[in-house]
Chain A
Amino acid sequence: MTNEEILSKLRERFPEVVVDVPELIDFTVAIKPEAVVDVARFLHDECGLDYLALLTAVDQTERFEVVYHLWSIKDRTTEPFVLKAYIEDKENPTVPSVTPLWRGASYQEREAYDLMGIRFEGHPNPKRILLWEGFPGHPLRKDFENRTYTFEELKPTRPTGPEW
């Protein structure tokens, strides 16, 4: 199934879910974050997109975007179907997790949470993966001050306990 066919099937199945079809290098469809679970299940079950290659987050200054690159292994697609979720809420960005559908999303969602602060509901292990839980801030946000830290500065943020 080509990406355009997938888009038309999506539009007829979920009439108002598509927010935007931006003109980018890859065929991209943008939806609202609340609809991610239903759309993802539809794409996985009925359009045969069984491989999630990439899950990242982007900080466009007035919104967050969560980007999913979906491929179909059985149909041997040659270009990804890019699904974006536009998150308008910058204070508390949340999006449902797609880990139950595509296992490869597990670590990538943890990375998006760690570096961007976007929470994924329903993730089986919602912990920071590259930095530690007490690290101040989310580094890849546009408003994060890009500086170096000394060991002493970060000492109070570290976890304490017998294994530390």
Chain B
Amino acid sequence: MQDTMSEEELIEEQIKHNIFLTTVDKVYNWGRRSSMWPVAFGLACCAFEFIATGMARYDLSRFGMEIMRPSPRQADLMIVAGTITHKMAPQVLRIYNQMPEPKYVLAMGNCAISGGPFPSYAVLQGANEILPVDVYVPGCPPRPEALLEGIMKLHDKVMHQSIKTVPWYK
């Protein structure tokens, strides 16, 4: 078959197999969502579900997230897993401020969403009082499958962002 095709057609054939055309957005977003590194930030019981999600049965490693960086400077996702007390709130904010952009926040569990079962003088009623949350995962604690669904929603959000409109490049 290659004998009967002209040179241009041969080149086109090769191009189809070897050159991929895409947009900068897609590659950039794909790279970011495939290897999001969470900062290991478990505060209370949800931390255990987060750890369970990272273990063998519900693996976070298949999403590229098995490296939970202890240092916020090397992470780009903050999973707020657990109750934020008023005493801890400034430190949570401090860790968030130390993360370099692009960064995302996932509020895991009812306590991080809105104070959970604790309408108390000592509990901050929701992480969105101090942080800009991207995805909320409800549950007390959310099952690992629910957390994975939340992470996949976050991946969707990342894939649909465009370099032209993201807040950190303005």
Q: Is the CB of A148 within 8 A of B130?
A: no
Q: Is the CB of B87 within 8 A of A139?
A: no
5 sampled A-B residue pairs with Cβ under 8 A: A130-B87, A130-B122, A139-B122, A151-B130, A158-B90
Q: In the bound complex, how far is the Cα of B119 from the Cα of A130, in angstroms?
A: 17
Residues of A within 8 A of B (CB): 130-132, 135, 139, 144, 146-152, 154, 158, 164
A117 to chain B, nearest CB (A): 14
A108 to chain B, nearest CB (A): 18
Give the dominant DSSP class at A's interface. Answer: loop
Q: Is the CB of A151 within 8 A of B122?
A: no
Residues B111-167 near A (CB distance < 8 A) = 115, 119-125, 129-130
Total CB contacts across the A-B interface at under 8 A: 31
Q: In the bound complex, how far is the Cα of B90 from the Cα of A132, in angstroms?
A: 12
Partner among A146, A151, A158, A164 whose Cβ is within 8 Å of the Cβ of B121: A146
A163 to chain B, nearest CB (A): 10
A residues near B129, Cβ cutoff 8 Å:
150-152
Closest 7 CB pairs of A and B: A151-B129, A139-B121, A148-B119, A148-B125, A151-B130, A154-B86, A151-B89
A1 to chain B, nearest CB (A): 42
Among residues of B, the one whose C-beta sits closest to the C-beta of A146 is B121
Q: In the bound complex, how far is the Cα of B33 from the Cα of A125, in angstroms?
A: 49
Partner among A146, A148, A158, A164 whose Cβ is within 8 Å of the Cβ of B123: A148
A residues near B89, Cβ cutoff 8 Å:
151
B residues near A158, Cβ cutoff 8 Å:
90
